């Protein structure tokens, strides 16, 4: 069981550090702004606000997005 958890953590760390786009983004969950089953996240770095279908925050930073 511990081995499985360790593998999951290792995999998560690889995902986090392999994707440089998320390096400057710090997503914060705010359940008060959830709507229609979507989960609200706000980036503390660039201020972008998004709703995701899953609990996990977006995998990219929107600081360089065209609409920002």
Should residue 61 be labelled a site residue for Zn ion when binding is judged by CB under 5 A? yes
Should residue 60 be labelled a site residue for Zn ion when binding is judged by CB under 5 A? no
**Which one of 45, 49, 59, 64 is in contact with Zn ion (CB under 5 A)?**
45
23-27: which pairs have CB atoms within 8 A and are 24 or more residues apart? Answer: 23/61, 24/61, 24/63, 25/57, 25/58, 25/60, 25/61, 25/62, 25/63, 27/57, 27/58
Q: Tell me which stretch binds Zn ion (CB under 5 A): 1-9, 11-19, 33-41, 42-50.
A: 42-50
Should residue 52 be labelled a site residue for Zn ion when binding is judged by CB under 5 A? no
């Amino acid at each position: 069981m511990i081995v499985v958890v360790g593998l999951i953590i290792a995999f998560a760390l690889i995902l986090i550090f392999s994707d440089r786009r998320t390096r400057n983004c710090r997503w914060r969950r705010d359940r008060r702004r959830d709507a229609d089953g979507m989960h609200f996240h706000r980036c503390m770095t660039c201020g972008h606000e998004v709703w995701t279908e899953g609990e996990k925050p977006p995998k990219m930073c929107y600081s360089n997005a065209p609409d920002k």
